[in-house]
Amino acid sequence: MDRKPAVAAAPEAVLEKLVRANIQEIDAGLLPKPVYGQVPAIAGIDRGVMDLLAAGQDGRLAVLELKASADLNLPIQALDYWMRVRWHQSQGDFARMGYFPGVRLREDPPRLFLVAPALEFHPSTETLLRYYSSDIEVERVGLARADEVRAVLRLRGARPPG
């Protein structure tokens, strides 16, 4: 079965489906289920939709922002979603709305994963990540390809490769 046409038609949707089904390839500590996709992220009157929301085995939330190709906005968009999740977390919204049944969610700030093919992180990503608060634990996970969830690169924060 050739997956190339589907990837070409909707690369981020394909990537989201693959990551969701293989979330522990992104981080072994993440629970395989439930993983929520296209979660509405509301702050005041602003609305957005984050790619994936998961929880770790330790109950810590994880925001995963996915890009199938280089995108200058990846760190800013991810930060926006992280802030919205943090706000909802502080309000107790996830437990109240039935997210992660049976999982005792921690109060620690969520982890943030930026996931893209390893060669598709925009060159400005490292620079922008330097301005993140130290309260935000961010990890870049570079995949071998957009149609395969196999991590070939892991970088914490703004650390450059190598």
pLDDT tens for each residue of 114-153? 999 999 999 999 999 999 999 999 999 999 998 999 999 9
pLDDT at position 18 is 94
What single-letter DSSP state applies at residue 108? Answer: S
Sheet holding 111-117, edge to edge: 36-43, 46-55, 61-66, 111-117, 137-145, 148-156
Residues of the chain scoring pLDDT < 50: 1-7, 43-49
pLDDT at position 43 is 46
* CATH T-level assignment (fold) for domain 4-156: Trna Endonuclease; Chain: A, domain 1 (3.40.1350)
pTM of the model: 0.88
The residue among 32, 36, 37 whose CA lies nearest residue 21 is 32
pLDDT at position 2 is 46
pLDDT at position 90 is 95
Contact 64, 22 (CB under 8 A): no
How far is the C-alpha of 115 from the C-alpha of 151, rounded, in Å? 9
How far is the C-alpha of 118 from the C-alpha of 144, rounded, in Å? 6
The residue among 21, 73, 29 whose CA lies nearest residue 52 is 21
